[in-house]
Chains A and B, each alone.
Chain A
Amino acid sequence: MKTSLIDMSDVDFSYDKEQVIKQVNLEIESGEFVGIIGPNGSGKSTLLRLIGALIQNQQGRIQFKQKDIREINKKSLAQSIAWLPQEVTMVFPFKVEEIVMMGRHPYLSPLSFEDGNDWDITRRAMEETDVISLSHRRFNEISGGEKQRVMVAGALAQNSELLLLDEPTSSLDIKYQLEILNILRRLNKQNGKTIIIAIHDLHLASKYCDRLILLNEGRIIQDGPPVNVLRKDILENVYGVQIKIFQDQEDGSIIVSPGNA
């Protein structure tokens, strides 16, 4: 039986006067692989930050496992939910292994050292995403694709059941995009991680996600399996361009291409 992880009802969120999320109702179950799609500025990042309790909604209610997310202790919430930013820039020259080890923070008390168990978990997380050979490199000196894999390793070290990823593939070439998405798929299918990912590429979204949520101007326009969301009429309306839709014969994924360019 699936259990409900995230339950949002009537959630509004505004930055200053601009309302970014409007009346969002959403339920995410354990084990899902959910893609959040929508035009730039439609509220994808904000929605992820709300789910991760990085920002607080002004209206409505967000629950994690039937508990108000604001009432959960920050450290114990971090043991359950990990969030990865779109791009990470380190001001200081941390090594890759140090960045991954930071994922252990919610399990450690101040003034303590990481113990053998933390080291093992860090090592395994780095093996899982194939960044162990980079351990001693400076984070700032590795490629964009490697950085994303390191950040995923950090999230694994955090050992949380829900992973929120804010456009992890947007600045990567196709090879690295697939690499990250394949890692996420494996984590979802084999390790049972629940994954919510904001993603621009509609074809990749349909290929990897079991469920898509289409946002526009802060509202959920469509929510369901990719074939129900990636429809010509809906997408043309939301993105304001003419498109054509094809279906991949092999895996049934949806290919969106320009209509009459």
Chain B
Amino acid sequence: MNSITLQLMNRKRYLGTLSIFFVFLVITLIVAPLIGPTSIDISKALSFENGIANNIDASILFVARLPRILLAALTGGSLAVAGSVLQALMRNDLAAPITLGVSSGASFGAVLAISLGLSFTALGFSSIPIFAFLGALGAMFLVFGIVRSRNGELPTSMVLLAGVTVNFFFAAMVMFIHYLSDLTQSFRIVRWLMGGLDITDYQTVLSICPLLILGLGVLMYLARDLNLISTGAHSAMSRGVNVVQVQRMAMVSAALITGAVVATSGPIGFIGLIVPHIVRLLIGPDQRLLIPASLMFGATFLIICDTVARTILAPTEIPVGVITAMLGGPFFIWLLRHQR
């Protein structure tokens, strides 16, 4: 009996697990830019003699592919973290930015900004992520407002119903704005709604980084509180968690990172729902590990999906959302059936 050793988390196990995810991410980050419909010569690309503008290989690598891959990494990672956190917060397996209406709230914010001609850049911040964040936050408070009962205890059965309802509501609002807008705006809205990572640059990638760092930092800070909340609000309270405050901070942070990436990449639904489950099956439900691991796994996953999307039917590109669902779905079902 006494020979049983506890297998709880310690620093060594923690860093060991995360370093595996990190290695996979780094390999993906290195390999993905080299793959594409046009083959490039790496040695030429890395020689900076003539400047990037005159170096075709370097242009493809550094201007066409790398920003896009970085954006895929940030988008996949952030949506996966948002999903993982929302699942713990709502105590529901099916909670995710898409099922709780957070993604469509963000879409609504972004589309509203486009149609009102409010897309400007101030202090290096584009206004669209801000509007998307406000939309995401609005959706989240709406869902919480609908299901909210006494003292932070959420009736989990209502969460999804409320989320789906809010999702439809904001989707309808997006359509309505789209319907009212003129041809130029309409084109921009459609272009944006179709999502995709293809039109981007370093400026866009950099501009959402502060928002993501802030949101992810707060969520990491709340990780153990989130573990306790996922066992029940009153249980968490009885262990000293300030449940209402943690719920608020986590909601705002999840909305922040969702809004920031949805504003730049469009809504990519599958990641936020499934990646947390995959990572949880691999390493367990502890949010302290789950948040950084989901971040890296989501990033790796979306880079791979995007690489497939831009190469498999080249020169035609498939929307990346198609690939995420087609690759991830069967993988998830396989994992689900083979766990333990």
Q: Could you tell me which A residues sit within 8 Å of B by CB distance? A: 15, 49, 52-56, 74-79, 81-83, 85, 88, 90-95, 97-99, 101-103, 105-106, 108, 110-111, 113-114, 119, 122-123, 132-133, 135-136, 158, 164
Asked whether A106 lies within 8 Å of B240 as measured between CB atoms, the reply is: yes
Q: How far is the CA of A171 from the CA of B93 in the complex (A)?
A: 26
A58 to chain B, nearest CB (A): 12
Q: How far is the CA of A54 from the CA of B6 in the complex (A)?
A: 31
Asked whether B240 lies within 8 Å of A110 as measured between CB atoms, the reply is: no
- Tell me the number of A-to-B contacts counted with CB atoms below 8 Å: 111
Asked whether B235 lies within 8 Å of A105 as measured between CB atoms, the reply is: no
A95 to chain B, nearest CB (A): 7
In the bound complex, residues from chain A placing their C-beta under 8 Å from that of B241 are 74, 105
B286 within 8 A of A: yes
Q: How far is the CA of A83 from the CA of B231 in the complex (A)?
A: 13
Residue in A53, A76, A95, A108 whose CB lies within 8 Å of B284: A95
What does the 1/0 interface line of B6-37 toward A look like (CB < 8 Å)?
Answer: 11111100100000000000000000000000
In the bound complex, residues from chain A placing their C-beta under 8 Å from that of B10 are 113-114
In the bound complex, residues from chain B placing their C-beta under 8 Å from that of A77 are 240
B44 within 8 A of A: no
B88 within 8 A of A: yes
B280 within 8 A of A: yes
User: Are A92 and B150 also in contact (CB < 8 A) when A97-B7, A113-B9 are?
Assistant: no
In the bound complex, residues from chain A placing their C-beta under 8 Å from that of B225 are 110
Residue in A56, A92, A103, A105 whose CB lies within 8 Å of B224: A105
Which A residue's beta carbon lies closest to that of B235?
A: A85
Residue in A56, A97, A106 whose CB lies within 8 Å of B8: A97
Q: How far is the CA of A210 from the CA of B238 in the complex (A)?
A: 25
Asked whether B240 lies within 8 Å of A75 as measured between CB atoms, the reply is: yes
Pick the 9 closest A-B CB pairs, nearest first.
Answer: A78-B240, A92-B285, A75-B240, A83-B238, A106-B240, A105-B239, A91-B91, A74-B240, A54-B234
Asked whether A102 lies within 8 Å of B228 as measured between CB atoms, the reply is: yes
Residue in B9, B11, B234, B240 whose CB lies within 8 Å of A105: B240
B125 to chain A, nearest CB (A): 28
Chain B interface residue count: which class?
A: 35 or more
| Interface pairs (12), CB distance under 8 Å | A52-B238, A55-B150, A56-B151, A85-B232, A85-B234, A95-B7, A98-B8, A102-B227, A103-B239, A111-B220, A113-B10, A136-B4
Which B residue's beta carbon lies closest to that of A164?
A: B238
Q: How far is the CA of A77 from the CA of B239 in the complex (A)?
A: 8
In the bound complex, residues from chain B placing their C-beta under 8 Å from that of A103 are 239
Asked whether B8 lies within 8 Å of A101 as measured between CB atoms, the reply is: yes
In the bound complex, residues from chain A placing their C-beta under 8 Å from that of B238 are 52, 54, 78, 81-83, 164
Which B residue's beta carbon lies closest to that of A115?
A: B10
Residue in B92, B222, B285 whose CB lies within 8 Å of A94: B285
Q: How far is the CA of A55 from the CA of B243 in the complex (A)?
A: 12
In the bound complex, residues from chain B placing their C-beta under 8 Å from that of A76 are 240
B230 within 8 A of A: yes
In the bound complex, residues from chain B placing their C-beta under 8 Å from that of A85 are 232, 234-235
Which B residue's beta carbon lies closest to that of A122?
A: B6
A10 to chain B, nearest CB (A): 21
Asked whether B151 lies within 8 Å of A133 as measured between CB atoms, the reply is: no
Q: How far is the CA of A114 from the CA of B10 in the complex (A)?
A: 7
In the bound complex, residues from chain A placing their C-beta under 8 Å from that of B227 are 94, 102
In the bound complex, residues from chain A placing their C-beta under 8 Å from that of B93 are 91
In the bound complex, residues from chain B placing their C-beta under 8 Å from that of A78 are 238-240
B236 to chain A, nearest CB (A): 8
B53 within 8 A of A: no
